[in-house]
A and B are shown apart, each in its own frame.
Chain A
Amino acid sequence: MTDHGLEAHGLTKRFRGITALNGVDLAIPRGQILGLLGPNGAGKTTLIRVLATLLRPDSGTAHVAGYDVTRQPGQVRRRIALSGQHTSVDEELDGRANLVMIGQLLDLTRRDATRRADELLSRFGLTEAGSRRVATYSGGMRRRLDLAASLVGHPQVVFLDEPSVGLDPGKREELWQMIRDLSSDGVTILLTTQYLEEADTLADAVMVIDHGRVIASGTPAQLKQQVGGHTVNVRVNDPADADRAAAILTAVTDRTPARATRHQLAVPVSDDDDFFQIAAELRRQAVNVSELSLRLPSLDEAFHALTDAAADTPTPQRP
């Protein structure tokens, strides 16, 4: 057994000439959350399906909870759970029956399965709804039941494929807390998402994939740094000062600042000292500013910078 909950080397998978995975490596220490980011069709779902033994990779190896996904799929399936956009619970059955059925399929006796189902229903606030058909559930309740269903067998590794799609912000927070709780119980989590905010708040590490390749990985902070430096934001009190401020920014950084509004200017800086020079120059020329700040790019900006850069390099693997 390794220290990794999940580990993969050089995974590739092609569908009818389209390369869905093109040599993916990853490693997640036990109990950590990896956020997998990427545009639609980047290969996120394919990667999850390979790791969850639903797809066989064309080449490469992957270990889940220490077991090889192609050679020991049975062992892997005993230790994983899959939840999200492509899995679902049975709409026609009630919530409790769904959980009991999964418990029984995991070889619990009917009594143990029922006890486990009740435990999970209460943990996810579904005790009342347990005897109602899932078809009558709201989107949030369904997601919670889906997550509960994946936890019946105490999995060591959980795959969450876009878990919060379609949830309103309040429900999303609630789901995030449940995911954090899982992680603090020692469960390794691989989570795909298109919400950068989600990866930023939940993940210990983030991996960005595009065209089946890993184009960046690291902690959210590292990723932001990797895309480049900081941005200086200036907000002038009087729009008439905007041109003078712009001239200062250009003089210091050699770049033309972007103007978001008549008051706001922003320019990327490569040297930390630039910020202080800008501040000093603004003061010397008596430009009144209501805001002057230095910030890291948002994960959004990092993501777009990374995927745009990847799109510019040719990908000969795609026919």
Chain B
Amino acid sequence: MTTPTHSLNAQAGRPPRWLRHSLILARRSLAKTSRNPGAIVNGVVTPALFLVLFLYLFGRAVAGSTDDYVQYLFPGIIVMGASLAGLVSTGTNINIDLKNGVTDRFRSLPISRLAPLLGSVLADIARYLIGVAILFLLGTILGFRSHAGIATTLAAIGLAVLFGFCISWITVLIGVMVKNAEAVLAFSFLTFLPLQLGTSLATPTTSLPGWLQSWVHINPVTAVMDACRALLNGTPPGDRITTTLIWCAAIFLVFCPMAVWIYGRRE
């Protein structure tokens, strides 16, 4: 065969190869979702359940009325949804690919080792955005009103998505390290309670006992929830946005390179 290699067609005006390949692989993951929408349901149902449950269980007790409480609770639920999207499906999907041999094909192709991982995470984000739309609809029905303009509302969502993107790399790392997808799920369930609920999600931190307060203050999810709450409710965010961004950068810079490295060398 004289055709020497794969045609290197005009690169001008197209995104860099690693990003293009990631998007192609993200589309693969999304095509699967459209046949099996369970992944979206998962990412929506859990936060929606917590929203309804907390609202009617604690609404009166914490805020005096459910109308006031939904303003406090809802932004945190959005963050929970974003983090869950990353925590549950990405690591599991990557682990399944590794086992069934699709990964060997990807790794023998001349594409960046980042692309299959990034593709999977990007697909999760697309799924999450659909989830957010559904959650916003539900929140509105339950009485939530954004006090911010469109731009600020989008910024709040953007912050939650960014955090979900970065935290995904933790499960991606676990997904490329462990033998079984179950281990990834076990990690997600173990971390769900302390990470998502050990936050300012349900009540302001001042009402918590001291030992719990110190955890809640360290927990990066608190910062993201606080930042989103401030943005959506039009209150001053203080240092919460900066703290969120620093956490995002730190988590991403530690876990993404490690995951890609291990993925490339996995035997």
Contacts and interface: CB of A to CB of B under 8 A. Distances in A.
Interface in A49-101: 49, 52-56, 74, 77-82, 85-93, 97, 101
Contacts of A268: none
B105 A88 contact: yes
Contacts of B9: 107-109, 112
A186 B1 contact: yes
Contacts of A128: none
A106 B6 contact: yes
Interface string A179-212: 0000001110000000000000000000000000
Contacts of B31: 92-93, 97
Contact of B108 (A15, A81, A101): A81
Nearest to B112: A74
Nearest to A187: B1
A182 B176 CA distance: 35
Interface string A143-172: 000000110011010000000000000000
Interface string A104-141: 11111100100000000000000000000100000000
B107 A54 contact: yes
Contact of B6 (A85, A91, A107, A185): A107
Contacts, number: 94
Contacts of A80: 108
Contacts of A185: 1
A66 B100 CA distance: 30
B36 A82 contact: no
A92 B35 contact: yes
15 contacts: A54-B108, A77-B110, A78-B110, A87-B101, A88-B104, A89-B102, A92-B31, A97-B28, A97-B31, A105-B21, A105-B106, A107-B17, A149-B105, A154-B3, A154-B6
Given A88-B104, A93-B31, 7 more contacts: A54-B108, A88-B100, A93-B28, A105-B106, A105-B115, A107-B6, A112-B9
Interface of A: 15, 49, 52-56, 74, 77-82, 85-93, 97, 101-102, 104-109, 112, 133, 149-150, 153-154, 156, 185-187
